A and B are shown apart, each in its own frame.
Chain A
Amino acid sequence: EDKVVQSPLSLVVHEGDTVTLNCSYEVTNFRSLLWYKQEKKAPTFLFMLTSSGIEKKSGRLSSILDKKELFSILNITATQTGDSAIYLCAVVTSSGSARQLTFGSGTQLTVLP
């Protein structure tokens, strides 16, 4: 059974802090790893990672994948209250021609002013 585990489950920080969110996985037929941000409604896409060691960056957010150790991290620097959300990690796997997306339970990030 595919498994994706995120830690911590929740995190409270103050504006300006840097946070690191963790995602480890045990899956068969790994294709890619995705990070999403979820505020009130639907998850919105942040990053897709397929290769080890290549950092993806978007403003204050960055992410990296380690396919040997089977984990990914999402870093957020100089946090703002608008970063408060649930951050979801998901792994895409393949079974024949079908693709599936398995999610972790998410990290609830709260940024206080």
Chain B
Amino acid sequence: NAGVTQTPKFQVLKTGQSMTLQCAQDMNHNSMYWYRQDPGMGLRLIYYSASEGTTDKGEVPNGYNVSRLNKREFSLRLESAAPSQTSVYFCASSLTGTRGYTFGSGTRLTVV
């Protein structure tokens, strides 16, 4: 019962470095999401993929790119990390997008 698996759990980057956060789900969900969580800000949507082959911007997409590699996997890429991207990142998936959102355990990213 893996659910949603995110890797890595922790990462420290230097300003300007790039990295990819990986997310995989084994629940045959259609929709997948990337959120960031900052203190006092709740979770804010970065990008989402309503179904395999589609991706759309959320509330805070600047500085990020995504790839829906297949139905299971949805990756988030930071091309040139900035200190403002220091945050906790959560991946989530949902069968229909209306109910049953399942979250991964999060990636704590620090950009110095």
Contact = CB atoms under 8 A, between A and B. Distances in A.
Contacts of B106: 41-42
B56 interface: yes
Nearest to A92: B98
B42 A88 contact: yes
Nearest to B3: A42
A97 interface: yes
B56 to A, nearest CB: 6
A78 B6 CA distance: 35
Interface in A46-82: 48
Given A42-B106, A98-B50, A100-B58, A105 B42 contact: yes
Given A100-B45, A101-B33, A45 B40 contact: no
Contact of B45 (A34, A41, A94, A101): A101
Interface residues of A, number: 26
Interface in A1-55: 4, 6, 9, 31-32, 34, 41-45, 48
Given A105-B40, A106-B42, A99 B97 contact: yes
Nearest to A104: B42
Chain A binding surface, main DSSP class: strand
A100 B48 contact: yes
B27 to A, nearest CB: 13
Contacts of A48: 99
Contacts of A97: 50
Sorted nearest first, the 8 A-B pairs with minimum C-beta distance are A99-B97, A42-B103, A103-B42, A105-B42, A98-B50, A103-B43, A41-B105, A42-B105
22 contacts: A6-B42, A31-B98, A32-B98, A41-B106, A42-B103, A42-B105, A44-B103, A48-B99, A90-B43, A98-B31, A98-B48, A98-B50, A98-B97, A99-B50, A99-B94, A99-B98, A100-B58, A100-B97, A101-B94, A101-B101, A102-B45, A104-B42
